[in-house]
């Protein structure tokens, strides 16, 4: 199963009764394992969870720590991009050259890298004190 197929399958499980905008995400960890997540809305919008965050949480819960590749899919007119918060979450666990595939349920795809998705990302180097 490809990452897009895994993201497409988990998207069907999304809980999106308010926006009706179901999103699926799948991550291949550096171990080769695949982890999937879907968006889970809450009537109090800030309390919802993005698909990418769910996939990252599944990866961490399973003991993997690094993303090798990620795919995101939604029913949108153009390939769906990750929100700003998820871009930062992805950057925490992926190198800048990691490929991010963004897709629509109709089959359109676009690819970018984590570095291009979040240029100038905040990283651990900012936390170092001399």
Structure-block tokens of residue 60? 């961490």
User: Is residue 13 marked as binding?
Assistant: no
What is the per-residue DSSP string for 40-71? B--SSGGG-B-HHHHHHHHHHHTT---EEEEE
- Catalytic machinery residues: 52
User: Is residue 40 marked as binding?
Assistant: yes
User: Is residue 69 marked as binding?
Assistant: no
User: Is residue 42 marked as binding?
Assistant: yes
User: Is residue 50 marked as binding?
Assistant: yes
Cα–Cα distance measured from residue 50 to residue 2, given in angstroms and rounded to the nearest whole number: 21
User: Is residue 10 marked as binding?
Assistant: no
Cα–Cα distance measured from residue 96 to residue 20, given in angstroms and rounded to the nearest whole number: 32
User: Is residue 82 marked as binding?
Assistant: no
Residue-wise burial string across 80-111, b where 16 or more C-beta atoms lie within 10 A, e elsewhere: bbbeeebbebbbebbeeebbbbbbbeeeeeee
Binding residues: 39-45, 50, 83, 86
Binding residues for Zn(2+): 50, 83, 86
Binding residues for substrate: 39-45
């Amino acid at each position: 199963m490809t990452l897009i197929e895994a993201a497409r399958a988990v998207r069907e499980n999304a809980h999106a009764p308010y926006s009706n905008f179901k999103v699926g995400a799948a991550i291949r960890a550096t171990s080769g394992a695949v982890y999937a997540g879907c968006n889970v809305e809450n009537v109090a919008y800030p309390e919802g969870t993005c698909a990418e965050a769910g996939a990252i949480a599944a990866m961490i819960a399973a003991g993997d720590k690094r993303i090798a590749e990620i795919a995101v899919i939604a029913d949108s007119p153009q390939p769906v991009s990750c929100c700003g918060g998820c871009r930062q979450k992805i950057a925490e666990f992926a190198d800048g050259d990691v490929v991010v595939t963004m897709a629509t349920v109709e089959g359109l795809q676009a690819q970018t890298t984590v570095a291009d998705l979040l240029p100038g990302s905040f990283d651990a180097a900012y936390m170092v004190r001399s």
